[in-house]
Every structure is written in structure tokens, then in C-alpha cells.
Amino acid sequence: MNGSDLFAILPLIVLAGSSILVMLLVAFHRNHLLSLLLTLVALALSFISLSVSWTVAPHRVTSLLVVDRYALFYIGLVLVATFVVAILIL
């Protein structure tokens, strides 16, 4: 795995890392507002990192994972929908 592979899957890496961070926050300090804010910031960062992945798309990461512009569009769509649902919980 090289640098362009990591740039191609950067939104997924940001989302996975931030979900682990939110779970650790809830495990050690249970505050619903803080976890919601961290979730919203993580979703926004993941959405912003789509622009980095857009520059290397289309890119074949593995033989089963191809990151193209359609995939990035749908990832962005899911991120925006998740952001809206998280705001509705507020």
C-alpha cells in the first residue's frame, strides 16, 4: 500500500478513526452533547477529505476496491445524510 492508496481511502480512514475516538469518549466520559459534537466534526472532516480523494480518483486500491468518482459521490451522499440525522437527534 502506497501513499496514493491512502489518499484514495482517506475519507474512510478519517471516519473509522473518529468512530473509535467517539467510542473511547463515551466509554470514559459519558456526555451526549460532547459525543454529538465530536461526531459532527468527524463527519465534516471526512466530507472535506473527499476533495483529497477526488484528485486521485479513479484509483484501484486492491483488486476488490476501486475508488472512482461515483464511489466518492455516494460516500459524500451518505456522509451528508448521516450529518443531517445526527443533527435531528439534537
Which tens digit of pLDDT belongs to each residue from 3-46? 777 888 899 999 999 999 999 999 998 888 999 999 999 999 99
* Secondary element (H or E) of residue 2: none
* 60 — pLDDT class (breaks 50, 70, 90): confident
Angstrom distance (rounded) from CA 28 to CA 26 = 6
Closest by CA position to 83, among listed 23, 18, 28, 10: 18
Q: Which domain holds residue 20?
A: 3-89
The angle, 0 to 180 degrees and rounded to 10, between the axes of the packed helices 10-28 and 32-48 is 170
Q: What is the pTM of this model?
A: 0.86
Cell 464511489 -> residue: 71
pLDDT at 5: 75
The total domain count for the chain is 1
Q: Which SS3 state, helix, strand or coil, does residue 60 take?
A: strand
Angstrom distance (rounded) from CA 51 to CA 63 = 23
